[in-house]
Amino acid sequence: MVRVDGGGSSNSLIKARGLGKNYSRGGEQIHVLQALNLDVEQGEFVAFMGPSGSGKTTLLNLLGGLDVPSAGSITVAGDEITNMSRSKLTQWRARHVGFVFQMYNLIPVLTAFQNVELPLLLTSLSKAQRRKHVETALGVVGLSDRIHHFPRQLSGGQEQRVTIARAIVSDPTFLLCDEPTGDLDRKSADEIMELILRLVKEYKKTVLMVTHDPLVAARADVTLHLEKGVLVEADRLQTVSSGGAR
Amino acid sequence: MKFIGLIRANLFRKKVRLLLTLGSFAVAMCLFGLLVVIRGAFNQGIDVAGANRLVSYNRIGLINPLPLSYRDRILQVPGVTGVTHQNWFGGVYQDPKNFFPQFVIDPESQRKMYPEFNIPDDQWQNFLKDRQGAIVGAFTAKKFGWKVGDRIPIQGTFLPGTWEFNIDGIYHGTRANDDESQFWFQWDNFENYIETKKITRYLGMVGWYTIKIDNPDNALRVAKAVDSLFANSDYETHTDSEANFAAGFAKQMGNIQFLILSIGSIVFFTLLLVTGNTMAIAVRERTSELAVLKAVGYSDRFVLLLVLFESMVIAAFGGVLGLLAAKGFTLLPANVNPIRSFFPLLYLSAGMFAVGVTAALTVGLVSGVLPAFGAMRLRVVDALRRV
């Protein structure tokens, strides 16, 4: 069960304690995240919401090992990533994290197959094994018939599916999705959300997702709001808001 | 090998730009090749000069002759094992543009002096028996389509009249950069003309002497001995190694050489800057893609090597293309390659080709280093924020 009070169980898949992130801009210190706690268990689907600049993407980057915190610690599946060197962190990302970006970030000169194959090139899998994995991943996202298409030959929704296939192809520990539907129309967004839900339900994937869209967030098991650098659960936020209104 | 697809896709991402970058590299390296060729042509005499040969000429200047009687006295100098003499002829075949060096030679001593020039024995024997005979280098023979048995007219310049020669033989150099453009004819023929026409200035006079010595270490001593032999005479000599003699010729065109090399070098350097800049732009355009590679687990070092490798592949292909073009230029026949009128031997050696490829790879490495380091240091978070 997702918790933000620092009291999660010891077997949480993702555990953040006292997480802080500061930026220095023009000599001024900006505290984006402050003493943030988070516990996420295996197979949970968590959505993060909050106003622009509230630190949602920063939090995702920290959890994905793309950035290092100014304070606190992050432990994923027993590995504390906050003290890892840059190269160790890179290796760790390759094994444990699947990224889905808002702008898809596919390599335009590679086909869907080649884009999905990218993470596998770092493994010791044979060419035939890689092919099998890629075809499976593209099959899961429903793009078996677009395997040799280049990104420019695909719609936005299809591109995002390729991104998801690339994220899951190496069977990572968890997926980080940064506004995965932010650049899509409602229909495509729904399809992508269906796909993510299927990954959670059928394949027991743990998904952490940043979104601005309440309808998208509503599909997650739990929605957390980032307010002034700390996480607040949605229902609690609602209670606080209602209480404030009374 | 499994990353070849990624590298190939990146290289062919913008075909026009790839073509232009390859083209600019090829032009730069072709220029490099041509500079090497022209420099080699200027210094050709030095490169092929025999270490055991000296040249003795009139101290006042090469244009002034020396008495034929010096030959026997030079032969007496300790360390001298052979002497031959030559005269410059300077005739014109059909058109003054058809330049090739013509020398009056003493056949017997000439052949001993220059073993690097290969002439079939039967041709040589015919030449010895034929007062109007001539031996011509393979390059010049090919240039004018001459073959053994042809009779060719050459118009004298400072020795006027039409001189008819029989091509008795064709010589080939035994080394790749030997001069195969010369035209030799008999001293007897020349002497007969001088005597008949009573040209006293050249009567019993030779242009210069080439002296063979027993040991290159004795060159300085022998040169001094020869010069002191004729000191304070009407025809004082200046004796130098064959290499220095050739270098003196090259030095006469020193300013032209300097000019060609400096302009060439500036153009070469400018092209390199342009190429480096193109590569930097190519990397900058891919910032987000490189960031994604890093996000999915590619190391900083991999990204560094990827960019460097791409840069070096372009450099290698462009470089080899350019050097092949330069090589092709040196092989063009004289009628379509005007430079050959001045430098019959245009030659890009395998060694210099390899130096060119190494230079191209080095340039590829250098021009790729800054973009590659930028890519390596790129922080994923910053790069993705820029998208």
φ and ψ of B341, to 5 deg = -65, -35
| CA–CA gap between residue B160 and residue B202 (Å, rounded) | 13
Q: pLDDT for B14-46, tens place per residue?
A: 899 889 888 888 988 888 888 888 777 776 666
B356/B352 Cα distance (integer angstroms): 6
Backbone angles phi, psi at A86, to 5 degrees: -60, -40
User: Angle at Cα A122 formed by Cα A119 and Cα A125, nearest 5°?
Assistant: 95
At B238, which helix (H) or strand (E)? Answer: strand B237-241
Q: Rounded mean pLDDT of B126-146?
A: 93
Contact A114 B9 (CB under 8 A): yes
Residue B342 pLDDT class (50, 70, 90 cuts): low
Given CB atoms, is A104 within the 8 Å cutoff of chain B? no
Which chain B residues are Cβ-neighbours of A95 within 8 angstroms? 297
pLDDT in tens, A164-192: 999 999 999 999 999 999 888 999 999 99
Contact B292 A61 (CB under 8 A): no
Residue A242 has what pLDDT?
41
Residue B276 in this model has a pLDDT that exceeds 80: no
pLDDT of amino acid A23? 87
Helix axes B300-331, B350-377, angle to 10 degrees: 150
CA distance B43 to B243: 9
For B253-266, the pLDDT digits (tens) are 656 667 777 877 78
ipTM: 0.88
Interface residues of B toward A, Cβ cutoff 8 Å, are 2-3, 5-6, 9-10, 12-13, 288-289, 291-301, 379-381, 384, 387
Q: Spell out which residues of chain A touch residue B289, defining contact as CB-CB under 8 Å.
A: 105, 107-108
- pLDDT the model gives residue B340: 66
> Between chains, do A122 and B297 touch, taking CB under 8 Å as contact?
yes
For B198-256, the pLDDT digits (tens) are: 888 888 999 999 999 998 888 889 999 999 999 999 999 999 888 888 776 666 665 66
Highest mean pLDDT (candidates B118-127, B349-358, B361-370):
B118-127
**What CA–CA distances, in Å, run from B23 to B156, B272, B312, B342?**
47, 12, 14, 29
**Residue from the list A103, A110, A118 with its beta carbon closest to the beta carbon of B296:** A118
A68 touches chain B (CB under 8 A): no
The answer to whether the CB of B163 falls within 8 A of the CB of B156 is yes
DSSP code at position A73: E
**Interatomic CA distance for residues B21 and B5, integer angstroms:** 20
How is B68-116 classified by DSSP, letter by letter?
TTHHHHHHTSTTEEEEEEEEE---BSSSTTS---EEEE-HHHHHHH-TT
pLDDT at A88: 93
CB contact under 8 A, A110 and B12: no
Comparing CA positions, the residue from B154, B220, B223 lying closest to residue B189 is: B154
Q: What percent of chain B has pLDDT over 70?
A: 92
B292:A107 CB<8 A: yes
Q: Which amino acid appears at position A208 of this protein?
A: L
pLDDT class for B320, splitting at 50, 70, 90?
very high
CB contact under 8 A, B381 and A61: yes
**pLDDT at residue B362 is higher than 90:** no
Q: Give me the average pLDDT of each 10-residue run along chain A (246 residues).
A: 77 91 86 91 93 90 94 93 92 94 90 96 94 96 95 94 95 94 90 94 94 91 88 58 36
- Confidence bin at B278 (pLDDT 50/70/90): confident
Residue numbers in A near B6 (CB within 8 A): 110, 114, 118, 121
Distance CA B228, CA B218 (A): 15
Q: How high is the pLDDT of residue A244?
A: 36
Interface test with B, best of A89, A93, A107, A126 (most B CBs within 10 A): A107
Nearest CA in chain B to A127: B2
CB distance A173 to A138 below 8 Å: no
Q: How far apart are CA B383 and CA B387, in angstroms?
A: 7
Start-to-end C-alpha separation, chain A: 30
Q: Cβ A127–B387 below 8 Å, yes or no?
A: no
CB-based contacts of B318, cutoff 8 Å, min separation 6: B21, B22, B23, B24, B25, B26, B28, B29, B275, B360
Residue A91's alpha-carbon distances to A70, A76, A150, in angstroms, are 21, 14, 28
pLDDT score of B303 more than 60: yes
Model pLDDT, residue B106: 94
- Please state the rounded mean pLDDT for residues B100-104: 92
Amino acid, res. B132? Q
Q: Could you say which of A94, A103, A107 has the minimum Cβ distance to residue B297?
A: A94
Report CB contact under 8 Å: B387, A103.
yes
